[in-house]
Homo-oligomer: A and B are copies of this chain.
Amino acid sequence: MEDKGKKISSAVIRRLPRYYRYLGELIESGIERISSKELSIRMKVTASQIRQDLNNFGGFGQQGYGYNVKYLYDEIGKILGLDKTHNMVIIGAGNMGQALVKSGDFAKRGFIIKGIFDNNKELIGNTVGNLKISDVSGVSEFIKDNNIEIVVLTLSKEHAKDVAQLVVKAGVHAIWNFAHTDLNLSDDVIVENVHLSESLMRLSYTIANNENM
């Protein structure tokens, strides 16, 4: 539990994709190096937080030079596992599932959607993007045969828990959950929740409680 195995706080991890995004934008603007101070102004966090966060990964900055943008971008990309591709399947071919298939954004970052599944006979066989919607009854076999690492759940909360258990049994340890429920899986399965209505409720809370609005 020392040094190499050092546990990085989940707060830092949550911030890493944002660093990655800003560094990507700097690259697009042709900026090759940046000080923690300049980066802090752009990102609206303190320079000391930036230094602390990046120190977790050995600290890529150099006194008086700042950070080499491309190097830092690539290193954070590796830390985030973006130097490899990840195969995914989507379960639930409703509006959200179809939108995710049609979006090219994920493939660009190495997240490859290999299949889309549903239990609705009227949807099975239809084409979405360049995929055919398959019967969810075959998903376990598909996961094993196609080295699937991530399952995306875009189905109703009524089915989400059962399907989650099914895919975990098939060997999946990472779930991107759009269903409006908690999955309560074992600790070796990681779940990243996208609860859209809860996000919207936080907006309406602020509207309701802000007299200036």
Binding site for B on A (CB under 8 A): 13-14, 16-18, 20-21, 25, 44, 78-82, 84, 86, 94-96, 98-100, 102-103, 105-106, 109-111, 149-150, 173-174, 176, 180-182, 184, 188, 190, 192, 194-210, 212-213
Contacts and interface: CB of A to CB of B under 8 A. Distances in A.
A72 to B, nearest CB: 15
Nearest to A190: B206
Contacts of A192: 199-200, 202-203
Contacts of A196: 105, 194
Given A106-B200, A174-B206, 8 more contacts: A17-B195, A17-B198, A20-B201, A21-B198, A25-B181, A82-B204, A94-B103, A194-B194
Count this chain's copies in the assembly. Answer: 2
A99 to B, nearest CB: 4
B201 A17 contact: yes
A133 to B, nearest CB: 16
B174 A205 contact: no
Contacts of A208: 78-81, 84
A176 to B, nearest CB: 6
A205 to B, nearest CB: 5
A24 B201 CA distance: 14
B188 A212 contact: yes
Contacts of A111: 200, 204
Contacts of A102: 95
A134 B112 CA distance: 33
Contact of A197 (B25, B81, B109, B202): B109
